[in-house]
Amino acid sequence: MKRSSRTAKPSPCITTKVAYHKPIPEKKQQSGMSGMMGAWIQAEKMVQVALILPCAAFIGWAIGVGLDHLLHQTWIATAGVVFGVIAGLVGVIRMAIGYGSGPGADGKDANGSGAGDSGTQQ
């Protein structure tokens, strides 16, 4: 008489039998934005936004003063300051929009093609 040996064979996992199983992705650490380094990067961004307006105004004034002396005028320095302030405001607004929307703010997808969500270019 033959003895039947019952060896316990491991059954396959239930997740391999499900047709549309999507495993839960593991959380990835943000590269370069964690801990103390992330705090320094955020502080640098805020300092950059805070300094761009006065620097632009100063550069506009300096160019205006130079043109005043070169062209023997008195109003170009004032126009330079106004132009510098407007340029600084545009720069600050562009930076704030870029920082607020996070990665992909330039309208490009992950591979940088610029195709957007639909994948078709117009």
Residue 45 to residue 35: CA distance in whole angstroms: 16
Confidence of residue 83 (pLDDT cuts 50, 70, 90): very high
**Residue written as token pair 């300096």:** 62
- CB-based contacts of 66, cutoff 8 Å, min separation 6: none
Residue 119 to residue 18: CA distance in whole angstroms: 30
Cα-Cα end-to-end distance for the chain: 78
Q: What are the C-alpha distances in Å from 109 to residues 29, 32, 90, 115?
A: 21, 21, 25, 7
* DSSP for 9-52, written as a single string: PPPPPGGGT-TT--PPPPPPPPTT-SHHHHHHHHHHHHHHHHHH
Percent of the chain exceeding pLDDT 90 equals 34
Q: What is the mean pLDDT of residues 92-112?
A: 66
The tokens of 108 are what?
């490009």
Q: What was the pLDDT predicted at 95?
A: 87
Output the pTM of the full model: 0.53
Residues 35-76: pLDDT tens digits? 788 888 888 888 988 899 999 999 999 999 999 999 999 999
Percent of the chain exceeding pLDDT 70 equals 55
